Amino acid sequence: MGIKEFMLFLHIIFASFWVGGMIFLVLVLSPFVRKLPIRDQAFQEVGRRFSFYGTLLTLLGLFITGLFNIHYILGFPNLFNFSNQYTLTLWHKIGLFLIVVVVSLVHDLYFGKRALESGFYRIMARILGFVNLILGLAIVYFAVVLRFGG
């Protein structure tokens, strides 16, 4: 396995952990935790841990491996060649990624930390988490489109 294949492999692992973790939280963990008497504390602890592993580390890993993938697959000089569909699709993916970073920061550092203070913060944290999941799935869609040529 060469460096190009290894970087793409890592990129897919990071994406799987990130999106898969969000799907797991929504479909498996949240329905269970809502039934617990310590649900608020459980959500805070799970949120804190996932914020570190599932957001901070994976988004950083996706950013770094994404730069390597741009270099090996497209080349940085071609990144601003908007005459081909591959580059346009890549920019859609990059744009969504940047939005995800902002939404994640607002979710994790503001609303998530205050979710116990009021229903408004709790609802906003849930909405932003859901928005992040939808954006993550859209990024996966664009990755599939890129895999088939753009």
Measured in whole angstroms, the distance separating CA 10 from the mean position of its chain's CA atoms is 14
pLDDT band with cut points at 50, 70 and 90 for residue 99: very high
Quote the CA–CA distance of 55 and 97 in Å, as a whole number: 12
Kind and range of the H or E run holding 125 = helix 119-147
Overall average pLDDT of the 60-80 stretch: 94
Q: What is the pLDDT of residue 39?
A: 87
Residue 21 to residues 35, 58, 119, Cα–Cα distance (Å): 20, 10, 24
pLDDT band with cut points at 50, 70 and 90 for residue 116: confident
Q: What is the pLDDT of residue 40?
A: 85
Overall average pLDDT of the 58-75 stretch: 95
For residue 150, pLDDT over 80 is answered with: no
| Residue 68 near residue 121, CB atoms below 8 Å | no
Q: Is 62 left (phi over 0), alpha (psi -120 to 50) or beta?
A: alpha
Output the pTM of the full model.
0.90
Overall average pLDDT of the 39-43 stretch: 86
